[in-house]
Amino acid sequence: MQAFETLFAQFIAAELPVDAAHDLNHVKRVVKTAKRLCQLESANVQVVVPSAWLHDCVTLAKDDPRRRQSSLLAADKAIAFLKRIDYPQQYHDAIHHAIHAHSFSARVTPETLEAKIVQDADRLDALGAIGVVRCLQVGTTLGRPLYHAEDPFCQHREADDSRYTLDHFKQKLFTLADTMQTAAAREEARHRTRVMQDFLDQLAQEI
Average pLDDT over residues 41-57: 96
Average pLDDT over residues 54-60: 88
Same structural domain, 89 and 131? no
Residue 104, Cβ neighbours under 10 Å: how many? 17
Structural domains counted in the chain: 2
Contact (CB, 8 A) for 60 and 66? yes
Average pLDDT over residues 87-108: 92
**pLDDT above 70 for 18:** no
Same structural domain, 21 and 94? yes
- What is the distance between the alpha carbons of residues 70 and 55, in angstroms, rounded to a whole number? 10
Same structural domain, 16 and 74? yes
Residue type at 43 in one-letter notation: A
Range of the domain at 35: 1-115
Average pLDDT over residues 112-133: 97
Same structural domain, 204 and 130? yes
Residue-wise pLDDT tens digits, 146-161: 999 999 999 999 999 9
Residue 9, Cβ neighbours under 10 Å: how many? 15
Measuring CA to CA, how many Å separate 87 from each of 42, 162, 199? Answer: 21, 40, 43
Sequence-distant (≥ 6) Cβ neighbours of residue 144 within 8 angstroms: 162, 163, 164, 165
Same structural domain, 60 and 162? no
- CATH assignment of the domain containing 170: 1.10.3210.50
| Residue 68, phi then psi, degrees to nearest 5 | -65, -20
**pLDDT above 90 for 29:** yes
Same structural domain, 88 and 133? no
Measuring CA to CA, how many Å separate 153 from each of 39, 149, 156? Answer: 38, 10, 9
Sequence-distant (≥ 6) Cβ neighbours of residue 107 within 8 angstroms: 68
